[in-house]
Structures are given as structure tokens and as C-alpha cells.
Amino acid sequence: MSMLNEILERKAKLEDERSNASIGTSFLFDVLKQMDETTDEKIRLVVREFRRYREYVFDIETKANYLLLIVARLRETSKSPFFRPAGVRTKAIDYFLIDLESFFYYAKSILDLVARLTPCFYPSHEGQLKKHSRYFANQKEWLCKNIDFDSEYTKNLIEMTLWFKDLSEHRNNLAHDRSLFFFWAKNPPRLFFGTKRNDKDFIPNQDALEYVNETASGLIEFLCYFNSYFGNKR
């Protein structure tokens, strides 16, 4: 989680120095540089397709920065009282739940965009991979079944995205099935959430802030690996 904390602290410091201006963090600088420098691949790709790949990069960058904002707001809001002494809930808990649900949508969207960008780096097999790249889940499943396609990337993909299945299930449940279930524990102050039952048939069952910190950290580390791997791919 140290990488996530460092990025958030650096971002907050820069924004404070510039009178709270919104400061973006680049996660795919090397990837974009690689795409722009590899002219022979640009010639092979249809111009419209190449532009679309570049748009995916900028969309990932934008949404990743929105995700950082969501994480920072969740951390800050969690410090506010969620209930008054009389048991009346405050607006803080509503803001927290709104941002928590947004977290799932943005995280899933970033990964789906990563999947759509990935075929760009396999010019000889772009069409083959593209058929399985509309969603991150489909691409990951296909790569796992065809590990020799790129064994190094696939092995690291598997190891670095163990949290993805849980994220995807939460997002899909929220989008198609149910709202967030939650309860507030006072000592110590913690908010638990759930969209599905655990093995003890209990819901909600996960510490919200702990889950967000760990999942966001994993996603950011994966983005940085993706940038490093494909940014240096020749």
C-alpha cells in the first residue's frame, strides 16, 4: 500500500502548493511514449484504430486520477461522525457510500480499458487477442488458458490481480442486483459493507476502508507494472 500512499501524499502536497488545483498523476507515460515512437506499428495499424488506442490511454489516466480522488475522499470522510448521539445518521455516511459505490465502477472501468488497450502491443496477433478484450475478465480468462501467448505478462497478471474477482462481483452485484448493505461499528469506528454473503451466510462482511485501500493499492501497482512492461516492449 506504500505506493498508493506515496502517490496520494505527493498529489495532495502539489495541490496544496498550487492553491488546491487539480493535479493529475501519469501512470502510462512510458506506454504512450512507446506507442508514439513505434512508427512501423503505426503504419500497419489503421489510423482510426491507433487514435482509439491513444484515447484508451488518456481515458485510463483520467479515470485513475478520479479513483485517487475517490480514495482520498473516502479516507477523509471516514474520519467524520456517521451518526449523531440520538442515532440519526449524518450526511457523511451518505457521501461515504456514494464514493464507495463509485469506487467499484471506476476501478472496473479502468481495467476494461486496459484490456482494450492491450492488443495494441501485439501487432502480429492483434486481431486474435482483440476478440477477447472487450472486458478485462474475458481477456484475463483467455490469457490464462493460452499462457504461452505471453507467459511473462500472464503470470504477473495472475499474481497481481488476485483481488479482481472480488471487485468484479461487487461491481456486478451493485449494477444488476442490489444496493450496498452496511453497518457501523462504534468501537473502534469502522464501516462494514457487502454485496454478497460470505461462507457464514453473513452480509455485510468487509471493512470498507480496508478493502478500498488494499484494492486501490493493487490496481495502482498493476497499472505501474503494465506501464513498465509494455512501455519497454519491443
* pLDDT on residue 39: 47
CB proximity list for 39: less than 8 A, separation 6 or greater: none
DSSP assigned state of 80 = S
56 in Cβ contact with 116 (< 8 Å):
yes
Average the pLDDT over 185-195 and give the result: 74
Residue 213 above 70 pLDDT?
yes
Arithmetic mean of pLDDT over the chain: 82
Q: Does the pTM exceed 0.75? A: yes
- The H or E element that residue 130 is part of is helix 126-130
Query: Which cell numbers in the block locate residue 68?
Result: 485517487
CB proximity list for 177: less than 8 A, separation 6 or greater: 195
Q: Which of 11-25, 27-41, 87-101, 110-124 has the lowest mean pLDDT?
A: 11-25
Q: Give the closest residue to 108 by CA, choosing from 155, 32, 54, 170.
A: 170
- The rounded distance, in Å, linking the Cα atoms of 170 and 76 is 23
DSSP assigned state of 219 = H
- The rounded distance, in Å, linking the Cα atoms of 199 and 234 is 46
Residue 124 above 60 pLDDT?
yes
Average the pLDDT over 189-194 and give the result: 78
Chain segment 30-79, per-residue pLDDT in tens? 777 776 665 455 444 444 566 778 888 899 999 999 999 999 999 998 88
Query: Which cell numbers in the block locate residue 199?
Result: 461462507
- The rounded distance, in Å, linking the Cα atoms of 134 and 216 is 22
CB proximity list for 171: less than 8 A, separation 6 or greater: 104, 105, 107, 108
Average the pLDDT over 170-179 and give the result: 79
Helices (H), 22-125: 29-37, 39-44, 47-77, 91-117
